[in-house]
Amino acid sequence: MAIFRKIHTQFWSDVFIQSLTPEQKFFFLYLLTNEKTKQCGIYEITLRQISYDTGYNVETVQKLLDFFIDCGKVRFSADSCEIAIKNWNKYNSSRSPDVQSLVNKEFKLVKNKELIEWVHSV
């Protein structure tokens, strides 16, 4: 299966996205598209990796991550180094049975099961 992440053009007209600074937009787009992302919306990554990829120091990464956590868009489990993106399916959904099967397999590999509940909660 090809590994890519599509970003709908509607992403840019989302009211929340429009309220962000350029730095915050870049960071959120990174969280949605980096090579560690999974189809289920929960993936394992370290702050050090994010720092390396984005060019931000670890303190700036933590500050940006805290912003999105406070906004209710992201959860981060420090114990398992897993990030969960709220509304992941809003811009990455697929009705394909193959994709749905992959999502179910990925959920089984999530270490912090609370993140699965959070991703699915309204």
pLDDT, tens digit (0-9, with 9 covering 90-100), for 71-81: 999 999 999 99
Classify 99 as helix, strand or coil: helix
Residue 93, token pair as written in the block: 């959904």
Res 1: pLDDT: 44
DSSP-assigned beta bridge partners for residue 76? 83
Res 104: pLDDT: 83
Q: Which helix (H) or strand (E) holds 76?
A: strand 74-77
pLDDT at 34 exceeding the cut of 70: yes
Res 93: pLDDT: 64
Q: CB under 8 Å to 86, separation ≥6 — which residues?
A: 72, 73, 74, 75, 118, 119
Res 6: pLDDT: 76
Res 95: pLDDT: 73
Query: Region 94-115: what's the mean pLDDT?
Result: 85
Percent of all residues in the chain with a pLDDT value above 90, rounded to a whole number: 67
